[in-house]
């Protein structure tokens, strides 16, 4: 049996179930997924996979290049919960490691956000990743204001971020995620092998045109149409 877990609460409920089933999680960030998955017994963990809620970094980097119409220098801040992305981003992005000062480390401690942002100042674009120790309701406004003043574009990880001042993002509709979940379930039924956790395959693009103008960007139709449509 294939069980689809909707959101973090659904994932926690599915993980606690005792059943002869596999679980495909949807609408849960990679941060939450990995934290919960790491605590599961090995046999239960093998029976679970996910479609992450946030965009694929590869698609976000492609969007940045389309917006600037050239290769662009991009920075990303990696915390404890996004450190797993290091192999994926290394060589493509200027990486800033968020760590608390020596002797003050905790599971969620990071260096001062102002210091972290200052270390990205030589990059034209900041790739935001869903790490709640870095991007949270308490500091997201300050991050967007700080980058705006430096004329640094932010590629956000949700369309809501674009509404409040990020330059752009790719994002997936409910139907996009549902299609991918169905494809993963069909693959498991056909092969008996559960696909590995995945970023969304199908997406469209949201652009804050006002922010683009302030950055002196002339947004191309190619950037506006950047998408991968579901079948």
Q: What's the pLDDT tens digit per position in 144-178?
A: 999 999 999 999 999 999 999 999 999 999 999 99
Residue 11 has pLDDT above 90, yes or no: yes
How much is the pLDDT for 169? 99
| CA–CA separation, 188 and 193 (whole Å) | 5
Residue 132 has pLDDT above 90, yes or no: no
How much is the pLDDT for 110? 54
Task: Among 21-30, 100-109, 193-202, name the one with the lowest average pLDDT.
Answer: 100-109
How much is the pLDDT for 138? 87
187 token code pair: 């693959």
Structural domain spans, the chain: 2-53+173-202, 57-170+205-224
CATH 3.60.20.10 fits 57-170+205-224, yes or no: no
Residue 101 has pLDDT above 60, yes or no: no
Residue 105 has pLDDT above 50, yes or no: no
Q: Which long-range contacts (CB under 8 A, 24 or more apart) does 56-59 make?
A: 56/170, 56/199, 56/200, 56/203, 57/85, 57/88, 57/89, 57/127, 57/129, 57/199, 58/88, 58/199, 59/170, 59/199, 59/203, 59/228
53 neighbors 203 (Cβ within 8 angstroms): no
23 token code pair: 């679980």
pLDDT class for 100, splitting at 50, 70, 90?
low
According to DSSP, the residues that pair with 118 across neighbouring strands are: none
Residue 72 has pLDDT above 50, yes or no: yes
End-to-end CA distance of the chain: 25
According to DSSP, the residues that pair with 96 across neighbouring strands are: 77
Positive or negative, the CA dihedral 122, 126, 132, 138 is positive
Residue 35 has pLDDT above 50, yes or no: yes
Average pLDDT over all residues of the chain? 93
pLDDT class for 188, splitting at 50, 70, 90?
very high
pLDDT class for 111, splitting at 50, 70, 90?
low
| CA–CA separation, 104 and 76 (whole Å) | 23
Task: Among 20-24, 176-180, 218-222, name the one with the lowest average pLDDT.
Answer: 20-24
């Amino acid at each position: 049996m294939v069980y689809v877990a909707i959101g973090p609460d659904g994932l926690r409920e599915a993980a606690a179930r005792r059943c002869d089933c596999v679980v495909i999680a949807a609408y849960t960030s990679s941060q939450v997924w990995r934290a919960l998955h790491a605590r599961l017994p090995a046999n239960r963990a093998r029976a679970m996979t996910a479609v992450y809620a946030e965009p694929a970094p590869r698609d976000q980097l492609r969007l940045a290049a389309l917006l600037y119409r050239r290769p662009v220098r991009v920075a990303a801040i990696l915390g404890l919960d996004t450190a797993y992305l290091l192999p994926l981003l290394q060589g493509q992005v200027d990486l800033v490691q968020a760590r608390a000062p020596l002797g003050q480390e905790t599971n969620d401690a990071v260096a001062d956000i102002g210091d972290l942002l200052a270390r990205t100042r030589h990059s034209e674009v900041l790739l935001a990743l869903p790490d709640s120790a870095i991007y949270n309701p308490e500091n997201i406004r300050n991050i967007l204001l700080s980058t705006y003043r430096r004329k640094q574009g932010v590629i956000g990880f949700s369309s809501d971020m674009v509404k409040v001042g990020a330059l752009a993002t790719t994002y997936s509709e409910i139907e996009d995620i549902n299609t991918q979940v169905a494809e993963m379930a069909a693959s498991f039924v056909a092969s008996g092998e559960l696909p590995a956790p995945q970023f969304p395959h199908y997406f469209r693009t949201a652009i804050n045109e006002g922010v683009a103008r302030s950055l002196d960007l002339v947004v191309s139709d190619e950037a506006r149409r950047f998408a991968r449509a579901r079948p």
